[in-house]
Every structure is written in structure tokens, then in C-alpha cells.
Amino acid sequence: MKKLMIAGFATLALSVSAHAGQCPADMSKIDAAMQTAQLSETDKTKVMELRTKGEELHESGNHAESVKILGEAKQMLGIE
């Protein structure tokens, strides 16, 4: 049972670490896509608001929510 708990915690730690590394990559993709984005000013503003919120969440350690919010911005830009 103890080994199972340790394995569970290790998996959780790796998952959080993976999300933490994804946030900066997503922000870079958003920044690059914004250079050539064909969006309305309203949508550009919304994307940048989402990007800013995602960065704030990342910096506060809430990586899962950051990935979710940054994903919304990427979806608006049509990028993966």
C-alpha cells in the first residue's frame, strides 16, 4: 500500500511539473501567432486578456488552470 501511495504522489508531481513547463511554451506560441493574427480588435483584446490571466495563474502555481486559459487563447487563434 505504501508503494502504491508513493507511486501516486510521484505521478501527481510529474503531472504538475509537465503543466508548469507547458505554460511558457503556450505563451510563446500565443505571442508568435499574435504577430500575424487576422482577428478583430475585440478578439485580439480577448486573446491578450486570456494570455495575461494564464501567465498570472502560472506564476501563482495554478498550472492546470493556466493551461486551460491559455488553451482558450490558442483556440481563438486557431493554433495548437
Q: Quickly state the pLDDT bin for 21 (edges 50, 70, 90).
A: confident
| Residues 54 and 64: beta-carbon distance below 8 Å | no
Q: What's the confidence (pLDDT) of residue 3?
A: 60
Q: Which three cell numbers stand for residue 48?
A: 491578450
Q: What DSSP state is assigned to residue 60?
A: T
What digits encode the pLDDT tens for the residues 24-71? Answer: 999 999 999 999 999 999 999 999 999 999 999 999 999 999 999 999
CA nearest to 20, candidates 67, 71, 63? 63
